[in-house]
Amino acid sequence: MFAPTTPKLWCLAALLLALPLAATADIYKYTDKYGRVFLTDRPSHSGYKRLVKTWKGWSPSGTKSINYRLLSENRKRFSRTIELAARSLKVPSALLHAVITAESAYDPDAVSRAGAVGLMQLMPATAQRYGVSDRTDPNANVTGGTRYLKDLMGMFNNDLSLAIAAYNAGENAVISYGRKIPPYEETQAYVRRVLQYYKDYKLMKVL
């Protein structure tokens, strides 16, 4: 969630969400030690990073672009980390692979325009909730994200669709819509995508 400190920055953040991503002005992002995200077109210190458009939204300039031809290689790179979290927390590894594929395409440095970070795209509040101090650390990120997903499964009586929807939109959104998938186009598409990935990964002999 954006947390600008001035009306000007608040307006800028709103415009970023409302206007096409082809805006010509450079936008800079800074995340403070509390996980709050600030956006501006006039950075006041070197901590601000210029944003560029990526498949997941806006990410810091210099972040490696996703190469889908190397998706298999990226998946294998973190397969042990994912398998350890899956075994430890008793969550299907294929489900974790499905969520990570949809969230970050296995890019540990992925940053969404909402400020979610890492393989499982943890927001600051979620990371704090599960004791993840460094969201870019693959082991900590996957463990925290897996714990969150497991808790969502328990919260929604092992209804996989609802747990996945809650991972995307938040558990309160699912609850507020009568424990149904919220009528958000993004969330509904996300649920379909993760379920398809999950089905595909379950059929694979080697992850």
Burial class of residue 172 (count of CB atoms within 10 Å of its CB; 0-12, 13-18, 19+) = exposed
Active site residues: 103
Contacts with 90 (C-beta within 8 Å, 6 or more apart), sequence order? 150
* The two structure tokens encoding residue 161: 């669709």
